[in-house]
Structure 1
Amino acid sequence: MTTQRRLPIPREDVLKLEPFEGLRLEHIRLPVSADDLAAAGAVLLGSPFLGFDTEVKPTFKAGEAMRGPDTVQFSTGTHAFVFQMHETGSEALVRQVLAAPHVVKVGFDLRSDQKQLMHRLGVHAQPLLDLDFVFHARGYPKSIGVKAAIALLFNRRLLKSKRVTTSNWANHTLESRQILYAANDAYAAWAVLDALGLPSGELPIWANGLSMGLADG
Structure 2
Amino acid sequence: MNQALPPLPEREQIALLEPFDGLGLQDIRVVTTPQEAHDATKALLASGVVGFDTESKPTFAKFEVSGGPHVVQFATLHEAWLFQLHRTEFHGALGALLASTELTKVGFGLSSDLGLIRQRFGVEPQAVFDIDSEFRRRGYRKSVGVKTAVALVFNRRFVKSRKATTSNWANRQLTDAQLRYAANDSYAAIRVFDALGLRAAA
Q: Please report the TM-score for the alignment, with normalisation by the length of structure 2.
A: 0.94
Matched, 1:72 2:80: no
Structure 2 residue identity aligned to 1:7: P
Q: How do 1:153-192 residues align onto structure 2 when only pairs under 5 Å count? A: 153-192=153-192
1:3 & 1:128 partners in 2: Cα distance?
27
* Deviates most, 182-191 or 106-115: 106-115
| Residue 117 (structure 1) shift | 0.3
Aligned positions of 1:73-88 closer than 5 A = 73-88=73-88
CA distance in 1, matches of 2:198, 2:123: 28
CA distance 1:33–1:46, change in 2 (3 Å): same
Gaps of 5+ in 1: 204-217
- Say whether 1:19 aligns with 2:19: yes
TM-score normalised by the chain length of structure 1: 0.88
Structure 2 matches for 1:121-200, cutoff 5 A? Answer: 121-198=121-198, 200=200
Q: 1:6·1:140 contact (CA, 8 Å) conserved in 2?
A: no
Does the residue aligned with 1:163 lie in a helix, a strand or coil? helix
Gaps of 5+ in 2: none
Letter in 2 for 1:122: G
Q: Tell me, what secondary structure is at the counterpart of 2:13?
A: helix
Letter of the 2:136 partner, please give it: H
Could you list the runs of 4 or more consecutive aligned residues of structure 1 that deviate by over 6 angstroms after TM superposition? none
What CA RMSD, in Å, does the superposition of the two structures yield over aligned residues?
1.5
CA distance in 1, matches of 2:54, 2:18: 26
Cα distance, 1:200 vs. partner? 3.5
Match of 1:32 in 2: 32
In structure 1, C-alpha distance between the alignment counterparts of 2:119 and 2:142, rounded to whole Å: 26
Q: What is the distance in 1 between the residues matched to 2:13 and 2:100?
A: 40
